[in-house]
C-alpha cells in the first residue's frame, strides 16, 4: 500500500487494508501467494557486462577506428600484410589490457558487495518463525528487537522504547526514537516516527510492525530505481581522449590529403605510391599506443590507490579525482568516527573536558553506567545504543571497573526508557541490604525529579540557583551541537512493589551531565586543509540536523570558526525545497553545509555545482547517497559501512571509510594525470617529428621512411618509454596548485607549445641527418654504397634514438632535466635500453634487416646518429631556460588560492 497512507493512518487501519492479523500473522498459503505476486524481498542487481561486450567496447575509441581503417587501406593498396599486422597487434593488446582491468575492478567490488541476507522473526500461522528476509511479503507481522536489521518497510503496531539507527537511509547520526502513534501531517522520511525502513538497524527496545512494502517498493528500492534515471557523467579523461581524437582526426585528414596532392601534382609520384605515403603519415600522426599506455598508467594508479585503501571500479576514475574541484562529503562515518564520544562532563558546578581526571567514586560515573544496557559481543566490543556505549567507554577509559562493580551491586529491577519521559532507571542491590537507584536521561526531565545535588563529596538541597546553573550549562553544551544527558541517584530501604516513574524516579540526587558528539576524524581536518591548499573546496552534505552539521563543519575548518555568520553558509533540505533549480544554481557557491537533506536534494546539489562547470566528487555510505554518487563526476562509496546500493553507484570505494584517503587519492590522481600528460607530450612530439619528417621529405622529393619504419618506431620507442613515464613519482609540489579546469586537457599547462617546438626539433634533426648521410657522408664511402638507403637507415635510427633521449626531457615541462636526479626513474632507464635494443636489432641482425630494408651504418655513421640524437637534450634545455627567464613558464603554473 502507499506509505503516504501508512504513517498517517492508525495501525489497525493498515492491518485491515493489508488483510492481515496482528496476533496470528499471515497463513503459509497466503504468504506463498503473496510471494509469487510480489516476488522475493531483495534489491534487484544490475547484470555484469560479458567479456565479449567488454572486448568490443574497447574498439569504440575513435583513434582505434582510424588505425584499423589505416591497416585495411595499407593492405589493400600495397598487398603487404606486415604493416597491417603490426597495427592490429597494437590494437588487440590495448583491448585485452582494457578488458583485464575492468574485470579486475569489477571483481573487487563484487567482493565488497557480498553480504549475507539477514533473518527476521515473523508471525505465521499464529507462531513466531525465523526466516530469511527474502521470504517476507506485504502483510507479514514482524517482531523487532535490539540488534535486528529491519527486513522491509513497516508500519509499527507496538513499540517499547524502540530506537532505530537510520543513518544509511536518512543520514541521521543518532538513532531515531519510534512511536506507533499516527502522524497528522505530511513528514519527511526522517520524521516518520511510526515507520521503520528496510536495511536500518534496531539499536534499542522492541517493536512489532506490519510489512507495507518489500523489495523495489521499499524506500531503499525507490532509491535504487532512481539510479536508473540518473545520468552518469563522463570523466575529464574520457572527454580529453575524445577531444584529442577529434583534433588528431582533423590533422590527419588535412595532412594526408595535402601530402597526397603535393606528391601527385608537384612531384609526379604515382597515386598508389602516394596513397601509401599518405597512410604512413596517418599512422605517424596517430599515437596508436596512447590508449594502451593510458590504460596501463591508469592501472598503475589503480594499484597505488588500492595500496592506499581506495578501490577503483573504472579506470578513468583514477584521473578524475586529480581534477576534482569540489568534494561533497557525507558527515557520519566519513568526516566523523560514527562513534558517539563524551567530550564534556559537568559535575561539582563546573564543565570539565573529557581528558580531565574524574574521581571514580563520584556518583555521576555509576548513574550513567549502571542505568545502561550496553553489552559486549563475543570479541569483547561494546554494543548497544551509541549514547550508552559512549558513557561506558568513557568510564572504562578512566579505569572504572564496571563489570566488577555490577557484580558487587547487581541489577534487580528497572524502569525502561520511553520516549515520553526520556529517562531510564535501574535498581541495584547494595551489600548493606539497601538499594541503589541510578537514573539517566534528558536534563530537563531529570531536574524536575531531583531535590538534592551531589557536589564536591557532599549531598545538599538543590536550589533554584543550582537548577538555573545546570540548565544554562546544558544550553551551553547543546549550542556546541553536543548531545547532553544527565545523571542522578538515590538510596532506598526497600523496593516498591510496583516499579514505575512515580515510585522510583522522584526525590533524586542530581550528579551531573555528560555531553557527547560523533567527533570528527583526527586526520580529516588536516586532509581538508590539505585539499584547501590544493584549491579544492570541501562541502558537507548530510541528513543530520543543521546545528550539529555546522558545529562539525567549524571543527573541520569547512566553515571558518571565527565567522559569526556561519549559519548563512548552512542550508537545510526544507529551504532547498523552496528554491527552484535556477535559484539554487545561482546561490550554490554561498553554501558549504547542506543539512537534513533527502536523496533528491543531494542530486540537485550536485547538479547545481556542475552547472558552475565544477568537477565534483561525492562521498557517501547510505542508500540515500546512491543517486548523488552516480550523478557526481566521481562517486566515492564506503567499503566498511557502505550499503550494497551505494557501492554499486560509486566509481571508487574507500576500504577504510576515511576522508583522508580521498585526499590521498586526489594526490595520486593528480600524479596520474601529470604522468599521462608526460606520455602525451612524449608521444605527440615524437609523432609530430615523424609527420614533419615525412611531409617535408615529400615536398623535397625524398624517400626518407617507409610505413614499416614508422610503425616499428612507434611500437618500440613509443610504448615502453611512455609507460615508464607513467611510473614517475609525484612532483613534490603537486598539491600546491589549483585543480585543472574542466576546459583544460592533456595539452594544457604548457604541454602544447612544448609538443610543437620539440616535434619541430626532432623533425629538423632527422631531416638534417638524412641530408647529411645522403649528400655528405655516403659519397665518401665509395660508389658501391646505396646512398639513399643508407641515408634512410640513418634517418630511421636517428628518429628512433632521438625519441629515447627526448623521453628524459619530458620528465618536466619547464624545469631543467637536471633540477632533480635525471635517472631516478629506473623504469624509464630500463625502457630506454630495451627500446634501443629493439630499434637497433632490426638494423644489426642479418635477415631481419633485409625485411626492414635497411643498411648497416659504419662506426662513423653510428657516431653521427648518436650525436645528433643527444642534441635534442641540449636544444630543449636551452629553450626551457629561455621560457623560465622570460616568465613564459610562470603563466602555466597557478598556485592554489584560499577557498
User: What's 544's domain CATH number?
Assistant: 3.40.50.1000
Nearest to 649 by CA among 45, 154, 142: 45
Give residues with Cβ within 8 angstroms of 296, minimum separation 6.
Answer: 97, 723, 726
Both 13 and 28 in a single domain? yes
Could you tell me the CATH number of the domain that includes residue 181?
Answer: 2.70.150.10
Both 550 and 635 in a single domain? yes
Continuous segment of H or E residues that includes residue 454: strand 450-455
Strand order in the sheet with 616-620: 310-312, 652-654, 634-638, 616-620, 326-329, 537-541, 593-595, 570-572
SS3 627: helix
Q: Which of 498, 517, 536 is the last residue of a domain?
A: 517
CA angle 741, 743, 748 (to 5 degrees): 80
Both 544 and 496 in a single domain? no
Whether residue 506 lies inside any domain: the answer is yes
CA distance from start to end of the chain: 48
Tally of CA atoms within 13 A in the half-sphere of 139 that contains its CB: 22
Whether residue 537 lies inside any domain: the answer is yes
pLDDT at 18: 92
Both 653 and 585 in a single domain? yes
Strands 508-517 and 483-492, bridge-based pairing: antiparallel
Both 411 and 456 in a single domain? yes
Q: Which of 635, 663, 691 is the last residue of a domain?
A: 663
Give the Cα separation of 803 and 878 in Å (integer).
18
Q: What is the DSSP letter of 557?
A: T
Residues forming a β-bridge with 144: 207
Whether residue 374 lies inside any domain: the answer is yes
Domain that holds residue 348: 341-517
Whether residue 703 lies inside any domain: the answer is no
Both 513 and 492 in a single domain? yes
**Alpha-helix runs per DSSP H in 479-513:** 501-504
97 is written with which cell numbers?
589490457
pLDDT at 634: 86
Q: What is the DSSP letter of 336?
A: B
Torsion sign, CA atoms 263, 267, 270, 271: positive
Whether residue 382 lies inside any domain: the answer is yes
Give the Cα separation of 490 and 468 in Å (integer).
22
221 is written with which cell numbers?
528500492
Whether residue 716 lies inside any domain: the answer is no
Both 352 and 489 in a single domain? yes
pLDDT at 862: 94
Tally of structural domains, the chain: 3
Q: Which of 213, 240, 271 is the last residue of a domain?
A: 213
Residues with active-site annotation: 330
Both 650 and 560 in a single domain? yes
Both 200 and 174 in a single domain? yes
Q: What is the DSSP letter of 529?
A: H
Give the Cα separation of 342 and 485 in Å (integer).
10
Burial 758-776 (b: 16+ CB within 10 A, else e): bbebbbebbbebbbbbbee
- Residue 60: Cβ-neighbour burial (10 angstroms; 0-12, 13-18, 19+): exposed
Both 463 and 575 in a single domain? no
Both 470 and 349 in a single domain? yes
Residues forming a β-bridge with 311: 653
Length of the chain: 899
Whether residue 411 lies inside any domain: the answer is yes
Both 476 and 581 in a single domain? no
Torsion sign, CA atoms 854, 859, 861, 863: positive
Give the Cα separation of 673 and 385 in Å (integer).
45
CA distances (Å), 323 to each of 157, 740, 745, 894, in order? 51, 6, 10, 14
- Give the count of beta carbons closer than 10 Å to the beta carbon of residue 114: 8
At 479-496, the pLDDT tens digits run 888 999 999 999 999 999
Phi and psi of 800, rounded to 5°?
-70, -45
Give the Cα separation of 699 and 262 in Å (integer).
7
Strands 483-492 and 435-441, bridge-based pairing: antiparallel
Could you tell me the CATH number of the domain that includes residue 481?
Answer: 3.40.1110.10
Q: What is the DSSP string of 57-126?
A: HGGGSHHHHHHHHHHHHHHHHH--HHHHHHHHHHHHHHHHHHHHHHHHHHHHHHHHH--PPPEEEEEETT
SS3 766: helix
Q: With a cut of 50, which residues of the chain have pLDDT below it?
A: 1-2, 101, 104-117, 232, 896-899
At 674-720, the pLDDT tens digits run 888 898 899 889 888 988 888 888 888 887 887 778 778 877 887 78
Asked whether the whole model's pTM tops 0.85, one would answer no
Whether residue 794 lies inside any domain: the answer is no
Phi and psi of 394, rounded to 5°?
-60, -45
Amino acid at each position: 500500500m502507499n506509505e503516504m497512507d501508512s504513517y498517517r493512518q492508525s495501525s489497525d487501519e493498515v492491518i485491515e487494508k493489508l488483510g492481515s492479523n496482528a496476533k496470528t500473522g499471515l497463513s503459509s498459503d497466503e504468504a506463498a501467494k503473496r510471494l509469487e505476486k510480489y516476488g522475493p524481498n531483495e534489491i534487484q542487481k544490475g547484470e555484469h557486462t560479458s567479456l565479449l561486450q567488454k572486448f568490443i567496447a574497447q574498439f569504440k575509441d575513435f583513434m582505434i577506428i582510424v588505425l584499423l581503417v589505416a591497416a585495411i587501406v595499407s593492405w589493400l593498396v600495397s598487398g603487404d600484410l606486415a604493416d597491417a599486422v603490426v597495427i592490429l597487434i597494437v590494437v588487440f593488446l590495448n583491448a585485452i589490457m582494457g578488458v583485464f582491468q575492468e574485470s579486475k575492478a569489477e571483481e573487487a567490488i563484487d567482493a565488497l558487495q557480498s553480504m549475507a541476507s539477514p533473518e527476521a522473526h515473523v508471525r505465521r500461522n499464529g507462531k513466531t518463525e525465523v526466516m530469511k528476509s527474502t521470504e517476507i511479503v506485504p502483510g507479514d507481522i514482524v517482531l523487532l528487537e535490539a540488534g535486528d536489521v529491519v527486513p522491509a518497510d513497516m508500519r509499527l503496531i507496538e513499540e517499547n522504547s524502540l530506537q532505530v539507527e537510520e543513518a544509511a537511509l536518512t543520514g541521521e547520526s543518532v538513532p531515531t526514537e519510534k512511536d506507533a502513534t499516527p502522524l497528522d501531517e505530511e513528514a519527511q522520511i526522517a520524521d516518520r516516527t511510526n515507520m521503520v525502513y528496510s536495511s536500518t538497524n534496531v539499536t534499542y527496545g522492541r517493536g512489532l510492525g506490519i510489512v507495507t512494502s518489500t523489495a523495489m517498493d521499499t524506500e531503499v528500492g525507490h532509491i535504487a530505481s532512481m539510479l536508473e534515471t540518473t545520468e552518469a557523467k563522463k570523466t575529464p579523461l574520457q572527454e580529453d581522449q575524445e577531444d584529442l581524437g577529434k583534433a588528431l582526426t582533423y590533422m590527419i585528414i588535412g595532412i594526408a590529403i595535402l601530402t597526397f596532392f603535393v606528391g601527385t601534382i608537384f612531384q609526379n609520384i604515382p597515386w598508389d605510391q602516394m596513397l601509401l605515403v599518405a597512410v604512413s603519415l596517418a599512422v605517424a600522426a596517430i599515437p596508436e599506443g596512447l590508449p594502451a599506455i593510458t590504460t596501463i598508467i591508469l592501472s598503475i594508479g589503480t594499484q597505488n590507490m588500492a595500496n592506499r585503501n581506495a578501490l577503483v571500479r573504472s579506470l578513468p576514475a583514477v584521473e578524475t579525482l586529480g581534477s576534482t574541484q569540489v568534494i561533497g562529503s557525507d558527515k557520519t562515518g566519513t568526516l566523523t568516527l560514527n562513534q558517539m564520544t563524551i567530550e564534556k562532563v559537568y559535575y561539582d558546578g563546573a564543565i570539565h573536558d573529557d581528558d580531565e581526571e574524574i574521581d571514580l567514586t563520584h556518583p555521576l560515573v555509576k548513574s550513567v553506567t549502571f542505568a545502561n544496557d550496553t553489552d559486549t559481543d563475543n570479541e569483547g566490543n561494546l554494543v548497544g545504543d551509541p549514547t550508552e556505549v559512549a558513557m561506558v567507554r568513557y568510564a572504562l577509559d578512566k579505569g572504572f571497573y564496571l563489570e566488577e562493580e555490577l557484580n558487587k551491586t547487581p541489577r534487580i529491577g528497572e524502569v525502561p526508557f520511553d520516549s515520553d519521559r526520556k529517562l531510564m532507571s535501574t535498581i541495584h542491590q547494595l551489600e548493606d541490604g539497601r538499594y541503589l537507584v541510578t537514573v539517566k536521561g534528558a536534563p530537563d526531565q531529570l531536574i524536575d525529579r531531583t531535590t538534592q545535588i551531589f557536589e564536591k563529596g557532599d549531598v545538599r538541597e538543590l536550589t533554584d540557583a543550582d537548577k538555573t546553573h545546570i540548565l544554562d550549562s546544558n544550553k551551553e553544551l547543546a549550542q556546541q551541537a553536543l548531545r547532553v544527558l544527565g545523571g542522578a541517584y538515590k538510596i532506598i530501604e526497600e523496593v516498591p512493589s510496583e516499579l514505575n516513574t512515580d515510585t522510583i524516579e522522584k526525590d533524586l540526587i542530581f550528579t551531573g551531565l555528560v555531553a557527547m558528539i560523533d567527533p570528527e576524524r583526527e586526520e580529516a581536518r588536516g586532509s581538508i586543509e590539505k585539499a584547501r591548499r590544493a584549491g579544492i573546496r570541501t562541502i558537507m552534505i548530510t541528513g543530520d540536523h543543521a546545528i550539529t552539521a555546522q558545529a562539525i563543519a567549524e571543527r573541520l575548518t569547512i566553515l571558518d570558526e571565527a565567522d559569526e555568520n556561519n549559519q548563512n553558509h548552512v542550508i537545510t533540505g526544507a529551504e532547498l525545497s523552496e528554491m527552484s533549480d535556477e535559484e539554487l544554481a545561482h546561490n550554490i557557491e554561498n553554501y558549504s553545509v547542506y543539512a537534513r537533506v533527502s536523496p533528491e536534494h543531494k542530486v540537485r546539489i550536485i547538479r547545481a555545482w556542475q552547472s558552475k562547470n565544477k568537477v565534483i566528487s561525492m562521498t557517501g555510505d547510505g542508500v540515500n547517497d546512491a543517486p548523488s554518487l552516480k550523478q557526481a563526476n566521481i562517486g566515492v562509496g564506503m567499503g566498511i559501512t557502505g550499503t550494497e546500493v551505494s557501492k554499486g553507484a560509486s566509481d571508487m570505494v574507500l576500504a577504510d571509510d576515511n576522508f583522508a584517503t580521498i585526499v590521498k587519492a586526489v594526490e595520486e590522481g593528480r600524479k596520474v594525470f601529470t604522468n599521462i600528460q608526460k606520455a602525451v607530450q612524449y608521444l605527440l612530439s615524437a609523432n609530430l617529428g615523424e609527420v614533419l619528417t615525412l611531409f617535408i621529405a615529400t615536398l623535397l622529393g625524398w624517400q626518407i621512411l617507409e610505413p614499416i619504419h614508422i610503425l616499428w618506431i612507434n611500437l618500440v620507442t613509443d610504448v615502453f618509454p611512455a609507460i615508464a613515464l607513467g611510473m614517475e613519482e609525484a612532483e613534490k609540489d603537486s598539491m600546491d596548485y589549483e585543480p585543472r579546469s574542466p576546459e583544460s586537457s592533456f595539452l594544457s599547462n604548457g604541454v602544447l607549445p612544448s609538443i610543437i617546438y620539440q616535434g619541430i626539433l626532432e623533425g629538423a634533426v632527422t631531416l638534417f641527418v638524412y641530408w647529411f648521410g645522403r649528400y655528405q657522408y655516403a659519397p665518401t664511402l665509395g660508389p658501391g654504397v646505396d646512398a639513399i638507403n643508407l641515408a634512410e637507415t640513418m634517418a630511421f635510427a636517428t628518429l628512433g634514438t632521438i625519441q629515447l633521449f627526448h623521453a628524459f626531457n619530458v620528465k618536466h615541462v619547464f624545469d631543467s632535466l637536471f633540477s632533480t636526479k635525471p635517472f631516478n626513474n629506473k623504469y624509464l632507464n630500463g625502457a630506454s635500453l630495451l627500446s634501443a635494443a629493439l630499434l637497433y636489432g632490426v638494423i644489426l641482425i642479418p635477415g631481419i634487416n633485409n625485411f626492414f630494408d635497411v643498411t648497416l651504418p659504419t662506426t662513423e655513421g653510428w657516431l653521427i646518429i648518436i650525436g645528433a640524437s643527444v642534441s635534442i637534450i641540449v636544444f630543449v634545455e636551452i629553450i626551457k631556460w629561455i621560457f623560465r627567464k622570460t616568465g613564459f613558464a610562470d603563466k602555466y603554473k597557478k598556485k592554489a588560492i584560499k577557498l
